[in-house]
Structure 1
């Protein structure tokens, strides 16, 4: 009788051992399937192309970072602080010519009509203004470095 109870105990242990091994094998198979699924359907953020990565977020743009100029009823927004600072140093006429020409893509003839000036005057204002802006911006960037 004693031998029978130890035999039963040994059988139960081996059955329990077998059930545990089967359960662990099943868990391994589930884990491998899950990892294969992730490998097929998921991509690391560091491996995303720039175009796809840019779709994942948006950037808020606030008016604090822009400068606004009023020119002949037009509201012109300048986002670059260095350009805005340089534009503020110009006379009003020269600033208006630059803003209308480069920010609203108006021709010299259109600007002359709007400002009641001669086209050649507009051309000269634009030419001199660009030279002044170039000098002002070069000095500003040299000072910042």
Structure 2
């Protein structure tokens, strides 16, 4: 039955993040709040990698930044996001 169920979704149930020409919808308030704790550039890099499934090389080309810098900033954003959500950065 759960597979056949249809649920109404409303715009106010999500926090929207425009990233890389797409709009990413986050339903979890805790995650959305933690994402808002990242700098805009780190947020975009993290979202492009995690939600848009872009590689570091693709992100680097898109935002005109060295691939190594994208990789470093993505890892930094992940560590900060983990801490903001109450986890340990070394997990």
TM-score by length of 1: 0.56
Structure 1 gaps of 5+ residues are 1-52, 140-145
Inter-partner Cα distance in structure 1 for 2:53 and 2:4: 33
**More relative contact order, 1 or 2 (CA 8 Å, 6+ apart):** 2
Inter-partner Cα distance in structure 2 for 1:86 and 1:99: 12
Greater strand percent: which structure?
2
Q: Which residue of 2 aligns with 1:106?
A: 54
Greater helix percent: which structure?
1
Deviation at 1:111, TM superposition (A): 0.3
**Aligned residue pairs, count:** 87
1:80 and 2:34 are equivalent in the alignment: no
Q: Deviations over 1:83-128 (max 9, x none)?
A: 1111101101100011100010000000000110000000001111
Deviation at 1:57, TM superposition (A): 3.9
Moved >3 Å (runs of 4+): none
Match of 2:67 among 116, 119, 125: 119
The equivalences for 1:7-46 within 5 A come to none
Inter-partner Cα distance in structure 2 for 1:59 and 1:117: 41
Structure 2 gaps of 5+ residues are none
